[in-house]
Amino acid sequence: DAGITQSPRHKVTETGTPVTLRCHQTENHRYMYWYRQDPGHGLRLIHYSYGVKDTDKGEVSDGYSVSRSKTEDFLLTLESATSSQTSVYFCAISGYRDRAQKALESSTDTQYFGPGTRLTVL
């Protein structure tokens, strides 16, 4: 199994409070992702990172920010949590993908997921 941990695993907070979730990897993978999973919606990408200090938005990025100051850590921050952000949050990692060499890099496309963080915003 890929070495991915998420903390905390469970959190209950109140509307309007800031929350930071942490994803830590020991695989030295270049790409890291944050998803949320909600009933009926499947997983949706919030933000991703393609290197230290390099991040980009996903499908549902509003209300979230991320930071990646070192390869192994990817932080997801809810500046002011709302009840609509109650969800299960998953971090994922994948290897470097060079589209110019995708035939050689194909084995690194697999995404590996962490165990998830269940966040409840009251």
Partner 1 sequence: KQEVTQIPAALSVPEGENLVLNCSFTDSAIYNLQWFRQDPGKGLTSLLLIQSSQREQTSGRLNASLDKSSGRSTLYIAASQPGDSATYLCAVLGNGSDNNDMRFGAGTRLTVKP
Kindly list the residues in this chain that would bind partner 1 in the complex (CB under 8 A): 31, 33, 40-45, 48, 50, 56, 58-59, 90, 92, 99, 102, 106, 109-116
Q: Where do we find the tokens 């921050």?
A: 77
Check if the beta carbon of residue 72 is closer than 8 Å to that of residue 31: no
User: Nearer to partner 1 by C-beta: 43 or 75?
Assistant: 43
Which residue's CB is nearer to partner 1, number 54 or number 79? Answer: 54
The DSSP result for 1-54, as a single string, is ---EEEE-SEEEE-TT--EEEEEEESS--SEEEEEEEETTTEEEEEEEEEETTE
* Residue 110 Cβ vs partner 1, minimum distance, rounded to whole Å: 5
Phi, psi (degrees; rounded to nearest 5) at 58: -110, -160
105: part of which helix (H) or strand (E)?
helix 102-105
- With CA atoms as reference, report the closest residue to 59 among 35, 40, 88, 37: 35
